[in-house]
Amino acid sequence: MEAYSHFAIGLLLCSVMLCGHLSQGLQRFSELKNSLILEYVAKNGTKAGEGTISVTWKLDTAAVSAADAAFADYKNVHIKLCFGAVSQVDRAWRKTNDLLSKDKTCPYEMGAQPYTPEGGSITWTVTKEIPFAFYFIRAYVTNTAKEKIAYGQTSNKQRTTNLFTIEPITGRHASLDIAAAVFSAFSVISLFGFYFGEKRFIKKG
Amino acid sequence: MGVANKNAKAMTPQQQMEFAVTLKREPSMSSSCNSTPLHPRSSQDADLGDDDGTPVGATLDVYMGDADPFPLPVDSEHKARKMKLFSFAPPHMLAFHLSWFSFFATFVSSFAPAPLLPVIRDNLDLTGRDIGNAGTASVAGSIASRLVIGALCDLVGPRYACAFLLLLTAPAVFTLASVSTATGFIVSRFLIGLSLGSFVTCQFWMSSMFSAEVVGTVNGTTAGWANLGGGASLLIMPLVYHLIEGPMGFDRFVAWRIAFVVPGFIQVLSALLVLVLGQDLPDGNYQELKVKGEQNTDTAWKVIFYAVINPKTWVFALSYGYCFGVELTVDNILTSYFFDRFDLPLHTAGVVASTFGLANIVTRPFGGYLSDWMAQNLGMRGRLWALWSVQTAGGMACIFLGRIGHLAGTIVVMIVFSCFAEMAAGATFGVIPFISRRSLGVISGIVGAGGILGAVLTQLIFFTSSAYSTETGISLMGIMIICCTFPIIGVYFPQWGGMLRPASTSPSATEEAYYLREWSQEEQRQGMHLASLKFAENSRGERGKRVAPQPVLNPMSSSATLALGAGVQYKMA
């Protein structure tokens, strides 16, 4: 009986640990394999809304052979735009966290492609929601269960080299500025209008 | 019905009002301010001219005859003695609703950027430091404006003072749409924050419209409901933003700019309603009434002097900074806290964080009510204990808030913290009216400004630098709340006692002695202190149920005897 209970507890513990290990919430960036090589074309000051970035990715056969990649179930490649370290300073909402579920380094997805050993490329038009910052590009490889298992990036480990900037839209429009000016003028004029109008009205009446 | 008699006419309007309020006291009646909300005063209305000890020549209700009866019972100054919450009848209740709504609008504008910060910080490339400074700036301006606006109210009346503030700061709200740098953002938030000085116009207008019996309840209700603006903007702004960004299809960086038209409009609309529908006094507007009647005005310097030298002013200015001020700071940081730490989507984070400010609808008036309820049995000592314990409990809840790592627990503790902090704010203004009679206005302004200063300091110390995370900052803020509430233990009224010390048994420890010490012999000879004397008699309820020593003889007092409902009699030799 004792052996049974020991065995049951052991099994329970193992399954818990296994589940924990496999669950995405506990996955860490440091556990991912750096197995992709990325090349990109992006000018400094690429304009949001108009400019394009092209990225080419392929398997780094020196790190992982094609057979190993197939065995590890490389399924899809997601290419993301990520903040360089200099743009994360004093901005806690962009912090890098080794726990992938809490990591905020790479918020913008540029594209996703199925994995092939020959590699692939995408061309992405910068969307208008991208703020001003220094960026690099990272590609994650996911398996069938949609967990990240490998990556490749254009910058170094500290995210300080090979950074490029994107010029964002200002969000301002001439029509907005004019509307603001008109409403403000109305507000001020109505105050003084009421005050002096009432004064005159009382004098008359 | 009673009619104002010749004796009454010889007195100043101030004295008339005080006479009107001196009535048979019952243990359930607290003194002037912060009365039990909507407590029926039927016993007072019935008492007229019988020997219950009311002074000779006193007036109770003034009936205008067939000329123009007010919809509410009024005193000799035509200030309403009751509050009818859902009435919009001019002049009293209409002024009530206009007043709280205009103050509410300034809260909405001042806190409107907070829930949209995740979008704004990307558009303007803000750092954590910029955001902290902007939050500080948004409340810093109101410190100066609260101190100054009292003078403006005296000059042009509360109606124009309120409209002045709102209409001149509305441009700052509209031009947020044109901001493109961090500096521009900080300056805009500072200018918008100036509008929070409408706290003073709100309280001033209510004090002009409602008599001392209900003015505390009215003040607490207007302030509490206006504080909702902080929470309401956390609900409204993300909704408006998503409407503009989604169905209307604007870009994110354009949508937030357009969204600020909404708080701007609300502010302008409420100011125009105040101008068109409101009136300064029950009898009319300042400009009309300035011609008739003279007022027994005090010297500004004297009033400021007696406010400043009273140490209680500063104790409560500090403690108010750590109940109300903390509430403002949390309004600023809470949405981002939920968005960043718990990964809630923006809209949801706004809704959850808004419950903090929205609790004001009941918690702040309840704080005032609690203060009154404690005063029934324990007098001023009860009020002080209520305030200290509620605020300290809030501090402890705040320490926990920073420590909890999961969402459900955080929400629960946040609600508990909001209840305690806002009750403390309401309870503070259950004590303020008794600190001084002569300098009540200036003290209210200093305490109000102290509240904002507390918000500024807290934002600067704990949430601006990146030295510690937001959750650590929240816990440290809780410790600071407890420390800054400590001085209340030292507050002592000789005639009523303090938290730890009972009232003095010396025969000179009376309400009259306390309130008359602010008037010099020369001023008393001129009769300037009569209002304080009346107030002193009315405040006898702050002794609770304790039997008091005989009050000091004062030849200028006109009460022969004052009968307390509890059966305790005070004979004035």
Summarised one tens digit per residue, pLDDT across range B220-253 is: 788 888 888 888 888 899 999 999 998 988 999 9
Give the distance from residue B285's alpha carbon to the nearest chain A alpha carbon, in angstroms. Answer: 10
Q: Residue A197 pLDDT > 80, yes or no?
A: yes
Q: Which of B125, B285, B470 sits opposite A131 (nearest CB)?
A: B125
| Residue partners of A10: CB distance under 8 A and separation at least 6 | none
User: What pLDDT, in 10s, does the model give residues A118-156?
Assistant: 889 999 999 999 999 999 999 999 989 999 999 999 999
User: What pLDDT, in 10s, does the model give residues B366-418?
Assistant: 887 788 778 778 888 988 999 999 999 999 999 999 888 888 999 999 999 99
| Residue partners of B65: CB distance under 8 A and separation at least 6 | none
Q: Which of B164, B285, B340 sits opposite A93 (nearest CB)?
A: B340
Segment B162-179 shows an average pLDDT of 94
**Cβ contact, residue pair A90, B257, below 8 Å:** no
Q: Which of B167, B252, B258 sits opposite A187 (nearest CB)?
A: B167
Of the listed ranges A192-196, B191-195, B278-282, B527-531, the one predicted with least confidence:
B527-531
Q: What confidence tier does B298 reach under pLDDT thresholds 50, 70, 90?
A: low
Q: Which of A91, A176, A198 sits opposite B258 (nearest CB)?
A: A176
Residue-level pLDDT at A24: 53
Which of B544, B546, B540 shows the shortest CA–CA distance to B559?
B540
Rounded CA separation A48/A198 (Å) = 52
Q: How many helices (H) and strands (E) does chain A have?
A: 3, 10
Q: Residue B19 pLDDT > 50, yes or no?
A: no
Give the distance from residue A187's alpha carbon to the nearest chain B alpha carbon, in angstroms. Answer: 5
- Any CB–CB contact under 8 A between A176 and chain B? yes
Mean pLDDT rounded to a whole number for chain B = 78
Segment A91-102 shows an average pLDDT of 90
Contact (CB, 8 A) for A91 and B128: yes
Residue-level pLDDT at B572: 32
- Any CB–CB contact under 8 A between A196 and chain B? no
Q: What percent of chain A has pLDDT over 90?
A: 56
Give the distance from residue A94's alpha carbon to the nearest chain B alpha carbon, in angstroms. Answer: 9
Compute φ and ψ for A110, nearest 5 degrees.
-90, -30
- Any CB–CB contact under 8 A between A191 and chain B? yes
Per the model's pLDDT, the better-predicted residue between B127 and B564 turns out to be: B127
Q: What confidence tier does B299 reach under pLDDT thresholds 50, 70, 90?
A: low
Residue-level pLDDT at B293: 43
Q: What confidence tier does B154 reach under pLDDT thresholds 50, 70, 90?
A: low
Q: What confidence tier does B523 reach under pLDDT thresholds 50, 70, 90?
A: confident
Report CA dihedral (A186, A192, A198, A203) to the nearest 10 degrees.
-140
| Residue partners of A58: CB distance under 8 A and separation at least 6 | A36, A37, A118, A119, A120
Give the distance from residue B114's alpha carbon to the nearest chain A alpha carbon, in angstroms. Answer: 15
Judging by DSSP bridges, how do beta strands A164-167 and A46-47 pair with one another?
A: parallel
Contact (CB, 8 A) for B451 and B444: no
Which of B69, B72, B70, B76 shows the shortest CA–CA distance to B85?
B72
The ipTM assigned to this model is 0.82
Q: What is the gyration radius of the CA atoms in chain A, in angstroms?
A: 27
According to DSSP, the residues that pair with A136 across neighbouring strands are: A82
Contact (CB, 8 A) for B333 and B471: no
Residue-level pLDDT at B289: 62
Contact (CB, 8 A) for B496 and B542: yes
H or E segment to which residue B92 belongs: helix B92-111
Altogether, the residues listed in chain B come to a count of 573
User: What pLDDT, in 10s, does the model give residues B49-62?
Assistant: 344 444 433 334 44
Which of A57, A194, A55 shows the shortest CA–CA distance to B287?
A194
Q: Which two tokens stand for residue B40?
A: 């029926």
**Cβ contact, residue pair A169, B253, below 8 Å:** yes
Give the best residue of B178, B280, B463 to mutate against chain A (max A CB count within 10 A): B178
Interface A–B counts its CB contacts (< 8 A) at: 108
**Cβ contact, residue pair B268, A187, below 8 Å:** yes
Segment B445-467 shows an average pLDDT of 84
Residue-level pLDDT at A17: 54
Which residues in chain B are closer than 8 Å to A89, comparing Cβ atoms? 127
Residue-level pLDDT at B35: 34
Q: Residue B135 pLDDT > 90, yes or no?
A: no
Of the listed ranges A37-41, B46-50, B108-112, B179-183, the one predicted with least confidence:
B46-50
Whether the model clears a pTM of 0.95, i.e. scores above it, the answer is no
Contact (CB, 8 A) for B422 and B364: yes
Give the distance from residue A54's alpha carbon to the nearest chain B alpha carbon, in angstroms. Answer: 23
Q: Residue B302 pLDDT > 50, yes or no?
A: yes
Q: Which two tokens stand for residue B435?
A: 């600190």
User: What pLDDT, in 10s, does the model give residues B67-86?
Assistant: 557 888 887 667 787 778 88
Rounded CA separation A110/A54 (Å) = 10
| HEC letters along B404-469 | CCCHHHHHHHHHHHHHHHHHHHHHHHHHHHHCCCCCHHHHHHHHHHHHHHHHHHHHHHHHCCCCCC
**Cβ contact, residue pair A173, B254, below 8 Å:** yes
Q: Which of B118, B168, B285 sits opposite A191 (nearest CB)?
A: B168
Which of B116, B119, B118, B140 shows the shortest CA–CA distance to B190?
B140
- Any CB–CB contact under 8 A between A19 and chain B? no
Give me the residue label for tokens 């000085």.
B197
User: What pLDDT, in 10s, does the model give residues A73-84?
Assistant: 899 999 999 999
Give the distance from residue B544's alpha carbon to the nearest chain A alpha carbon, in angstroms. Answer: 48
From residue B209, give the alpha-carbon distance in Å to each of B279, B422, B445.
Answer: 10, 25, 19
Per-window interface: A 93-112 vs B, CB < 8 A? 93, 102
Residue-level pLDDT at A67: 87
Per the model's pLDDT, the better-predicted residue between A188 and B21 turns out to be: A188
Whether the bond between B91 and the residue before it is cis, its omega within 30 degrees of 0, is yes
Q: What confidence tier does B34 reach under pLDDT thresholds 50, 70, 90?
A: very low
Give the best residue of B102, B121, B169, B174 to mutate against chain A (max A CB count within 10 A): B174
Question: Which amino acid type is present at position B145?
Answer: S
Residues of chain B whose C-beta is under 8 A from some C-beta in A? Answer: 118, 121-123, 125, 127-129, 156, 160, 163-164, 167-168, 170-171, 174-175, 177-178, 180, 251-254, 256-258, 261, 264-265, 268, 271-272, 275, 285, 287-288, 336, 339-340, 343, 466, 469-470
Residue-level pLDDT at A140: 94
**Cβ contact, residue pair B171, A188, below 8 Å:** yes
Residue-level pLDDT at B1: 39
Measured at the CA of B8, the angle between CA B4 and CA B13, to 5 degrees, comes to 100
According to DSSP, the residues that pair with A123 across neighbouring strands are: A54
**Cβ contact, residue pair B180, A172, below 8 Å:** yes
Give the distance from residue A144's alpha carbon to the nearest chain B alpha carbon, in angstroms. Answer: 25
Which residues in chain B are closer than 8 Å to A191, comparing Cβ atoms? 163-164, 167-168, 271
**Cβ contact, residue pair A188, B168, below 8 Å:** yes
Rounded CA separation B153/B457 (Å) = 28
Q: Residue B432 pLDDT > 90, yes or no?
A: no
Q: What confidence tier does A18 reach under pLDDT thresholds 50, 70, 90?
A: low
Per the model's pLDDT, the better-predicted residue between B119 and B154 turns out to be: B119
Rounded CA separation B543/B536 (Å) = 12
Rounded CA separation B202/B270 (Å) = 13
What do you get for the CA distance between the two ends of chain B, in Å?
32
Rounded CA separation A84/A132 (Å) = 11
Q: Look at residue B335 and give its three-state secondary structure.
A: helix
Of the listed ranges A68-72, B304-308, B439-443, the one predicted with least confidence:
B439-443
- Any CB–CB contact under 8 A between A170 and chain B? yes
**Cβ contact, residue pair A190, B128, below 8 Å:** no
Which residues in chain B are closer than 8 Å to A198, comparing Cβ atoms? 285, 287
Q: What confidence tier does B32 reach under pLDDT thresholds 50, 70, 90?
A: very low
Segment B295-315 shows an average pLDDT of 77
Residue-level pLDDT at A107: 93
Rounded CA separation B278/B94 (Å) = 7
Q: What is the gyration radius of the CA atoms in chain B, in angstroms?
A: 24
Q: Which of A92, A180, A187 sits opposite B340 (nearest CB)?
A: A92
Q: Residue B151 pLDDT > 80, yes or no?
A: no
Question: Which amino acid type is present at position A42?
Answer: A
**Cβ contact, residue pair B122, A129, below 8 Å:** yes
User: What pLDDT, in 10s, does the model give residues B308-359?
Assistant: 899 999 999 999 999 988 988 887 788 888 888 888 888 888 788 878 878 8
Q: Residue A193 pLDDT > 90, yes or no?
A: yes
Segment B155-159 shows an average pLDDT of 80
Rounded CA separation A52/A41 (Å) = 9
In A, minimum Cα distance to B465 occurs at: A90
Q: Look at residue B108 and give its three-state secondary structure.
A: helix
Q: What confidence tier does A10 reach under pLDDT thresholds 50, 70, 90?
A: low
**Cβ contact, residue pair B163, A171, below 8 Å:** no
Per-window interface: A 140-169 vs B, CB < 8 A? 168-169
**Cβ contact, residue pair A129, B167, below 8 Å:** no
**Cβ contact, residue pair B171, A92, below 8 Å:** no
Distance of alpha carbon B4 from the chain centroid? 32
| Residue partners of B450: CB distance under 8 A and separation at least 6 | B314, B316, B317, B318, B320, B321, B325
Segment A172-197 shows an average pLDDT of 94
Segment B428-456 shows an average pLDDT of 81
Q: Which of B251, B287, B343 sits opposite A129 (nearest CB)?
A: B251
Measured at the CA of A123, the angle between CA A120 and CA A128, to 5 degrees, comes to 145
Q: Look at residue B275 and give its three-state secondary structure.
A: helix
Helix, strand, coil percentages in chain A from 3-state DSSP, rounded to 5: 35, 30, 35
